[in-house]
């Protein structure tokens, strides 16, 4: 395995390519630039939403979730502080999954068809849109750029709420925009309050990667007199130095040079990184001739198939019949997941330093985590446990992970209720 280690280090897919202390310091410095409005690769977007729990009792809210690959819709009400979902629908996300660009009108038509049956005049709408947005004080969102290979170019630079509301009956709304990390955090605030957390963050590691955190208003130097609120890092766009393999992958994407960090670890790209690494290893003679042929003619590299392989089953386990080839692919997966875990540890450590939270196990720093890549990858979760097991004791910090019940929909509903006046963030004086 020494040859494999050396090659993956050369390709930049080895965790030791990322010195954690220096990487964390650089990331936190970029956070400071974003909070000050001084440019950089972290947008540090104000959400104008407080990290506050939803009301214990509420009427129905229409909650929408436009994710990396799926669209979800439901009516959500709160009973005893817990979300109750009804009329749930899940469908492919319009404009995702490759193919030709989808016109804006066709996108809103598709959403309207799925949303209109539940829309009622005066009913608040929580609209989770899992792509980079600038959130305005009136809770509308302007799409900044496309990520995760979404093909909706006509939406960039536009307000999103009017497009949705134009496909619904008159009087519906208002629509409150937020991204998936803020929705995840808001959906888990009740559990965090019960755990008496000293700080809070939301993290999504699925098709894409992003984090948000409960920030103090004084940190938002670009927004004078801002109240305490959730700040969305848009950390998938962080300009993390790339390795040779990352640059090779990046060159073939829709947005080369953008989403650097996201392309190094998220579900939309990880399997392709493994595919590229396997090709380099085959050309270096690290697979047997039979294994190299299987890589050329074998199944598509997908996250589900690679997780099956780790578990000793599935198409890739069957395609690679030589034990040495299985061990080589497993080695690639171990290293790529370990690197991903180190990058996530970099972000979480920077958040700990920024907030000063988690100095005691009770209360800990609470992270509401969601996403398929976080929960379904055995190797990633083990690697993240090792990374945090080393760095947290050295820092004297404590983290506890939570999962938001019901995904992003309860958080979207909580945002709509908060903006309607039940715990809404006070707007700053400018």
Per-residue pLDDT of the chain (430 residues; tens, 9 = 90+): 899 999 999 999 999 999 999 999 999 999 999 999 999 999 999 999 999 999 999 999 999 999 888 999 999 999 998 999 999 999 999 998 778 899 999 999 999 999 999 999 999 999 999 999 999 999 999 999 888 788 999 999 999 999 999 999 999 999 999 999 999 999 988 777 766 668 999 999 998 999 999 999 999 999 999 999 999 999 999 999 999 999 999 999 988 999 999 999 999 899 999 999 999 999 999 999 999 999 999 888 999 999 999 999 999 999 999 999 999 999 999 999 999 999 999 999 999 999 999 998 888 999 999 998 999 999 999 999 999 999 999 999 999 999 887 789 999 999 999 999 854 444 333 2
CB 145 within 8 A of CB 258: yes
CB 13 within 8 A of CB 280: no
The predicted pLDDT at position 198 comes to: 81
The predicted pLDDT at position 427 comes to: 39
Structure tokens at 214: 């409960």
DSSP letter string over 211-279? EEEEE-GGG-TTSTTPPSEEEE--GGG--PPP-HHHHHHHHTSSSTTSSTTHHHHSHHHHHHHHHHHHH
The predicted pLDDT at position 150 comes to: 85
Q: How many CB atoms lie within 10 A of CB 241?
A: 12
CB 255 within 8 A of CB 235: no
The predicted pLDDT at position 190 comes to: 77
Burial string for 278-303 (b: 16+ CB within 10 Å, else e) reads bbbbbeeebbbeebbebbeebeebbb
H or E stretch covering 64: strand 61-66
> d(Cα 302, Cα 296) in Å, to the nearest integer?
15
The predicted pLDDT at position 195 comes to: 66
The predicted pLDDT at position 423 comes to: 43
Reduced to 3 DSSP states, what percent helix, strand and coil does the chain have, rounded to the nearest 5?
A: 45, 15, 40
Q: 3-state DSSP call for residue 89?
A: strand
CA angle (327 as vertex; 324, 328 as ends), nearest 5: 90
> d(Cα 42, Cα 197) in Å, to the nearest integer?
25
Tell me, rounded to whole angstroms, the distance of Cα 363 from its chain centroid: 25
pTM of the model: 0.92
Q: What is the DSSP letter of 316?
A: H
Considering the domain delimited by 61-182+411-416, tell me its CATH architecture.
2-Layer Sandwich (3.30)
> d(Cα 123, Cα 116) in Å, to the nearest integer?
12
The predicted pLDDT at position 146 comes to: 86
The predicted pLDDT at position 426 comes to: 41
The predicted pLDDT at position 97 comes to: 78
The predicted pLDDT at position 69 comes to: 87
The predicted pLDDT at position 428 comes to: 35
């Amino acid at each position: 395995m020494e040859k494999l280690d050396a090659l993956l280090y050369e390709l930049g897919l080895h965790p030791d390519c990322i010195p954690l202390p220096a990487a964390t310091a650089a990331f936190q410095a970029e956070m400071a630039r974003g909070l000050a409005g001084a440019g950089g690769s972290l947008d540090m977007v104000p959400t104008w939403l407080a990290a506050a729990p939803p009301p214990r009792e509420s009427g129905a809210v229409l909650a929408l979730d436009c994710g990396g690959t799926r669209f979800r819709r439901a009516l959500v009400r709160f009973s005893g502080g817990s979300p109750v979902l009804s009329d749930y629908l899940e469908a492919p996300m319009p404009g995702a999954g490759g193919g030709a660009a989808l016109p804006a009108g066709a996108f809103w038509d598709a959403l309207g068809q799925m949303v209109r049956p539940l829309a009622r005049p005066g009913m608040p709408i929580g609209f989770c849109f899992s792509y980079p947005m600038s959130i305005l004080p009136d809770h509308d969102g302007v799409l900044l750029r496309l990520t995760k290979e979404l093909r909706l170019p006509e939406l960039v630079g536009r307000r999103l709420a009017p497009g949705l509301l134009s496909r619904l009956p008159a009087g519906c709304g208002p629509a409150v925009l937020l991204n998936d990390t803020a929705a995840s955090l808001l959906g888990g605030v009740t559990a965090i309050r019960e755990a008496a957390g000293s700080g809070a963050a939301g993290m999504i590691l699925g098709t894409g990667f992003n984090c948000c955190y409960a920030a103090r208003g004084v940190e938002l130097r670009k927004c004078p007199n801002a109240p305490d609120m959730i700040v969305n890092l848009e950390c998938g766009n962080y300009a993390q130095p790339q390795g040779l393999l990352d640059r090779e992958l990046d060159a073939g994407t829709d947005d080369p040079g953008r989403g650097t960090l996201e392309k190094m670890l998220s579900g939309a790209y990880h399997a392709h990184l493994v595919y590229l690494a396997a090709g380099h290893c085959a050309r270096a003679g690290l697979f047997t001739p039979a294994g190299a042929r299987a890589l050329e003619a074998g199944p598509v590299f997908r996250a589900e198939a690679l997780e099956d392989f780790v578990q000793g089953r599935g198409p890739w386990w069957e395609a690679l019949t030589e034990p040495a080839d299985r061990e080589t692919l497993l080695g690639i997966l171990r290293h790529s997941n370990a690197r991903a875990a180190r990058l996530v540890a970099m972000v979480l450590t920077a958040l700990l330093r920024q907030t000063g939270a988690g100095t005691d196990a009770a209360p800990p720093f609470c992270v509401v985590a969601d996403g398929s890549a976080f929960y379904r990858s055995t190797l990633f979760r083990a690697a993240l446990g090792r990374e945090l097991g080393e760095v947290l004791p050295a820092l004297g910090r404590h983290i506890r992970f939570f999962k938001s019940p019901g995904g992003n929909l309860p958080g979207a509903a909580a945002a709509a209720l908060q903006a309607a006046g039940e715990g809404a963030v006070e707007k700053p004086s400018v």
